[in-house]
Amino acid sequence: MPTKIIMDTDPGIDDAAAITIALNHPDFDLQLITTVAGNVTVDKTTLNALKLTKFFHKNVPVAGGAAQPLIKPFEDAARIHGESGMPGYDFPTDLDQPMSMTAIEALRDHIMAAKEPITLVPTGAYTNIALLFKTYPEVIPHIKEIIAMGGALGKGNMTSAAEFNVFTDPHAAAIMYAAGVPITMVGLDVTMKALLTPDTMTKLPTLGKTGTMLHALFNHYNDGDQAGIPMHDVNTLFYLLHPEAFTTEKMWIDVQTDGPAIGETVGDIRGAYHEGKTNATVCVDIDAAAFNTWFLTAVEAIG
């Protein structure tokens, strides 16, 4: 049976690649897309999600969510993803409308109506997740797990300590990690290893309309280097389908919410500060070659 998932996201170019796979892969049943301010403003992330559902002719509901972090001033990543968040390709303009309810209400309704616990896949700031848990704590027992892109045990990509998604709303991240839901942290420790290689990029435009669209977006993605480009958010889906490609460690994750290390995810790697308790499974290594092969195979299957 396909894994039932909800994506909470801020597309964004790598988010677009993740949504592309989630919408089309036979092993996923994407129930809902909720959007949040992150890579660009929430009006743009919502529009971009609608562009993708229209492009693929998928009737997956989209609900717009938080326009700003809980406390911290909002900083986007338009310098990385472009002003629109998804430049480089002419998407359809006759888009469907987002849901009339907010992302928080849509998340609550979908989770509570599901016949079995559902998996959340947040690939942007965790503002919507935090608001959901604080507003409707009754949903927590109905969530199977959270596979979250974000965080780092080492070097950040926003500051020396902080990864972008957690840095954007560290207070929301702290709430999510404290909620007691099983969490897998898919952070920079693996996403900066699982780069799409130049060879993969060369093959993409030969894989039909989907490959052409993604290749166009990736050519406007101001991230990566000559070794390749990171597909941060796609790693969450790769983990769900192929956990054997990852090396993981269980540990306690604390989130710094102020000071020069704001947004840092601090892993208690020695088990020294939480009486041996853990609150996350942390991805620490990945088979990058397997990721590239899987990504090309997934895109080719969409056509």
DSSP sequence for 154-194: S--SSSSS--HHHHH-HHHHHHHHTS---EEEE-HHHHTTS
- Per-residue pLDDT at 223: 82
| Identity of the residue numbered 297 | T
Q: Given this model, what pLDDT does residue 147 score?
A: 98
**Whole-number pLDDT of residue 199:** 96
Quote the longest CA-to-CA distance of the chain: 55
Give the DSSP letter of residue 26: T
Q: How many Å apart are CA 33 and CA 21, to the nearest integer?
A: 13
Q: Give the per-residue pLDDT at 142.
A: 97
Count CA atoms within 13 Å of residue 16 on its CB side.
34
| pLDDT at res. 31 | 98
Residues annotated as catalytic are 232
In this predicted structure, what is the pLDDT of residue 86? 97
Quote the distance between the C-alpha of residue 161 and its chain's center: 19
> Running along the chain, 303 residues long, what does each successive block of 10 average in pLDDT?
97 97 98 98 98 97 98 94 94 95 98 97 98 98 98 95 97 98 98 96 96 96 86 98 98 97 96 93 98 98 92
pLDDT of residue 227: 87
Q: Are 9 and 15 in contact, with CB atoms under 8 Å apart? A: yes
Positive/negative CA dihedral, 65, 70, 74, 79: negative
The reported pLDDT for the residue numbered 301 is 97
pLDDT number for residue 222: 85
Query: Can you give the pLDDT at residue 263?
Result: 98
Beta bridge partners of 2: none
**Cβ atoms < 10 Å from Cβ of 189:** 22
Six token digits for residue 11: 């597309």
